Amino acid sequence: MSLIFHRAVFSVAMIVFVGLSGCGTTEQSPHLSWRKQDFLNRHFTLDDTRRIEDVWFYSDHRMAAVTFGEHTGDMYKTCSPLMFWRLRNGRLQIYDYDKRVYSTWTLIRSDGDKYYVLNEDDKTLRYIRK
């Protein structure tokens, strides 16, 4: 009888342990969520010595005026298409007229007007908000 009692107590203890092991743990988002007031009607410029990327986010029709390119020495190569923006699961996406995503910004942190984002290539970039 003692063996049956110990097995029953052990079984109950295991059920309680397994049942409670998931309590108190919540999966947290690994990133912050963009809010419209963070970027609307603002200008962001990439803090990089070689690459050029400037984005102006407008509330009208969700337009994003983008200038991107690079400079080497005295040569500047840029392109300035008119794109659009949208929020998807807290991430800021810049996409073209055909709905092809050009860039996805996952907000990691902000420090004043410095915004650190993770792009679609898992590279951390720093943008200065102006």
Mean pLDDT in residue range 91-95? 98
pLDDT tier at 31, thresholds 50, 70, 90: confident
| Nearest C-alpha neighbor of 38 from the set 118, 117, 96 | 117
Over 50: is that where the pLDDT of 127 sits?
yes
Full domain range(s) for residue 119: 36-129
Flag whether 15 is in a domain: no
Three-state DSSP state, 118: strand
Question: The tokens of 32 are what?
Answer: 């912050």
| Nearest C-alpha neighbor of 102 from the set 84, 117, 79 | 84
Domain containing 110 — which CATH number? Answer: 2.40.128
pLDDT tens-place string over residues 3-21: 454 444 444 344 433 343 4
Q: What is the pTM of this model?
A: 0.73
Flag whether 14 is in a domain: no
